[in-house]
Chains A and B, each alone.
Chain A
Amino acid sequence: GNSVTQMEGPVTLSEEAFLTINCTYTATGYPSLFWYVQYPGEGLQLLLKATKADDKGSNKGFEATYRKETTSFHLEKGSVQVSDSAVYFCALPGGYNKLIFGAGTRLAVHP
């Protein structure tokens, strides 16, 4: 079945640093891929998505490119802010008509 592997955290960065959070997947066919963000005490929010190979999803300065050659969907941001501190989840559709989530990567950005 489909699965996703996400780099473990926590990731600690200084403000304005470059961010990469790795995500690789195993899937049948070419499903849509998603990044979700969870701010402290809140639910998960869709951050960005890509629906086919070579698509680039982007939102709030974050980007991720759907790369079928490397089965990856890494999340990047050129200059992080303190307000980006959150837990980030990579996800794709799986069985049970549900989304399969990675374990989550906690990002802490310091001034």
Chain B
Amino acid sequence: NAGVTQTPKFQVLKTGQSMTLQCAQDMNHEYMSWYRQDPGMGLRLIHYSVGAGITDQGEVPNGYNVSRSTTEDFPLRLLSAAPSQTSVYFCASSNSGKTEAFFGQGTRLTVV
């Protein structure tokens, strides 16, 4: 009963490095999204997808890329890491944009 699986759980990057945060779900959900959680800022939507091959920007998309080649996977790519991207990242999936979302355990990213 995996649900939404994120890897890695922790990551430290140097400024300018790139990396991919992985997200996979086994619930056959069409909707997937990436949030970042920062102290005092709540959860902010980075990118989302309403199905394989379809992605769109959320509130804070700059510096991040996504793709959705399969229903199950929705990786988030940091192109050139910056200290401002130090955050906890959560992937979520749902049946639709109006129903409850299921969250992964999060990736704690530190950019130095």
Contact = CB atoms under 8 A, between A and B. Distances in A.
B105 interface: yes
Interface in A23-51: 31-32, 34, 36, 42-46, 49
Nearest to B9: A41
A108 B105 CA distance: 21
Contacts of A60: none
B56 A96 contact: yes
Contact of A45 (B40, B43, B96, B103): B103
A109 B101 CA distance: 27
Contacts of A93: 97-99
A97 B90 contact: no
Nearest to A95: B97
A103 interface: yes
Nearest to B106: A43
B90 A98 contact: no
B31 A97 contact: yes
Interface of A: 31-32, 34, 36, 42-46, 49, 89, 93, 96-99, 101-104
